[in-house]
Chain A
Amino acid sequence: MRLLTREALLSFRRAPLLSALSITTIAFSLFTIGLFGLVAINLRQALRGIEERVEIVAFVLRGTPAETITLATQDIAAFPEVQDVSFVSEEQALARARSELVEFRDAYRDIKANPLPASIEVRMKEGFRESASVGRVAERIRGFGFVDDVRYGRDWVQRLDQLRNVTGLVGLVIGLAFAGVAVVIIGVTIRLTILQRAREISIMRLVGATNWFIRGPFLLEGALKGLLGGFLSLALCYAGYLLFRDTTGGPFAGLIFFRPEHMLVILVFGVFLGLGGSLVSVGRHLRNV
């Protein structure tokens, strides 16, 4: 074990520039993924507030008996996706319009007959606020005979979804591209170390060292570089977070950083990148030594 660690660490001294390069590439790969990840989790945090307001409004035909509406409301409340249902009568609708739409207060005051229909307002449970679920529930409500029309912010909901998905995807694509480069660079570094140590490796083989004993230091070297790259990327992400964090209450006031489990995922991913690069290289070049 001591020999393994010594051999693994030795390569950092033998090729410091290349080692630094591979660590930096891993760091940048994870930084990109991490940065977009940060944007995504902050976006989600912000969207959660908006999403809570996502609701479906079903306009009720005039003259629908109150019992029918009560029964239907109970039905809808029992849908697994639905958080709560409330009935807004024609009078309540008018009162709300008068208080909320200040600009039209005069117009509403003067009208004799109430033009506003009664409605059922449905709020969705968390986790069902994306467009597919909202659309599904809206369609079922449309099925009630007394329902004149169903409205929900279809475009709005879809756009929120898209924004979140696109952010995640862009981060992932750029990050993976960097990860590919990182794997190649680590592979090259390990290959150079293997060539540098070709004589040593051939002797190890002749005297009966096992394959895993020979591979061990290279794999450890890769994993170590991945871990260091992971730490560096977290530091970079934190620097970015500090840069944008706004303590004065501006638009970025509520910015959040990764939770410990997110950071662990990034570090583990770094280790896997490093291991992957060295495994590919060891598999390809060790046989020829």
Chain B
Amino acid sequence: MLTTAQLLEPLAARRTDEVVVTTMSTVRPWGRYSNHAFDFASADSAMGHTADLALGIAMAQPGRTVICLNGDGSLLMSLGTLVTIVESGVTNLVLIVVDNGAFELTGGQPVAGAGRVRYGEVARACGFRRAYSCRTPQEYASALDQAFGQAGPTLVEGHVEPGEEGPISRGPAEEAAYLQTSLYDSARALREALGSPPGRGQGGMPDTRQPGR
């Protein structure tokens, strides 16, 4: 079984210019390893819709790898997204499933199918090109080698010990830089970092919005 640190440290060490989208139990911990313009926290957002959000980014940015750190509970809420990912034809999406068997942010209640669902096999059955199940740092390192070096879509299932992350808020009280702004502002920051105008002004519309929402 991996720890959250054993999942995130090697990823942060390899990451260069990939977009990294986090949710739930990895949001705060990832912020301790990374402060990158291409980090995006799917926090204060929609339940179970992080993998599909990451899919959209991957579709829009085919020349850039998008890594999604998703939870098992989150994936279960929109399991059909595995099919949609394959349907889209993207090859630049790496979906890392933090399989801790628990809704960590609400106190560790077990998710449905905890310990029984083999997400790697589900992904392969849906048509993922690559899928790995990792219980040791060595297995995980090997999976990352493949995920970073080969065309996907790729699912990396990391069996992780449940931690003690609590509910996430956004604002100055949060230590992680990418949690100190609103989801609205974070979205515009990522959009601008990826090369598009941050918001209004699209299609000739004047930008009259007040900052700092």
Are A and B bound to each other? no
Residues of B that sit less than 8 Å from A by CB: none
